[in-house]
Amino acid sequence: MLIHVVTDIETDGPDPGIHSMISLAAVACDETGARLSHLALNLEPIPGHAADPGTMDWWNTEPEAWTATLSNRLPPAEAIARYVAWVRGLGGTPVFTAYPLIFDGAWVDWYLRRYASLRLLTAPRSTETLFLGGGLDIASFALGRTGLDYDSLTHKTFPESWLGGHPHSHVALDDAEGYAHLLGTLLRGEGEERR
């Protein structure tokens, strides 16, 4: 059984390896989009990695979300060990799923390599991977299922019901829950009326 691990992250800058991932949340769903489990972690910044001033200016416009990233912070190695154990404990075959895959995936891959000697996705000469294949980009999947135009595709263009009433708050678990609901909507073919 495939298990979609819908993952959302928050960071203090744009670049993995230079800045830090400060929140990581995931919602596991089966092949119909039914929710199986969730995990939410806050991470301590990596020592010696400075936050990006422009990103911190943006966080100043999202004070509630920023405050949420400050509670129960774990050292990065401990947080990644918990994420790996949670994914492996799900059973089935995990598929990394995100919106957008390129952003969340790049960060999770960097942290997996550094703290768990794993790769996110299968790649040439890769070490052990945590997930099957190349992952699923929810935005691309939505384009294929709905016929929406690429340049207008954002979480703001979807009917509220597609996100299940979950706010896009930049609290990683809120966003992961909304994207998991969107994935379920698309997997069940409920988004096709937008064609």
Report the length, in residues, of the chain.
Answer: 195
Question: Where do the H-state alpha helices sit in the chain?
Answer: 53-59, 63-69, 76-88, 101-116, 138-146, 172-187
Report the C-alpha gap between 100 and 37 in whole angstroms: 21
Contact of 9 with 79, CB cutoff 8 Å: no
Question: Does residue 195 surpass a pLDDT of 50?
Answer: no
3-class SS of residue 74 = strand
Q: Which domains does the chain have, with CATH numbers?
A: 2-190 (3.30.420.10)
Q: What is the pLDDT of residues 133-177, one digit of tens each?
A: 889 999 999 988 888 887 777 767 777 788 888 888 999 999 999
Q: What is the pTM of this model?
A: 0.93
Could you tell me the pLDDT band of residue 113, with boundaries at 50, 70 and 90? very high
Model confidence pLDDT, tens digit, residues 53-107:
999 999 999 999 999 999 999 999 999 999 999 999 999 999 999 999 999 999 9
Residue 111 pLDDT greater than 90, yes or no: yes
Asked if the model's pLDDT at residue 127 lies above 80, the reply is: no
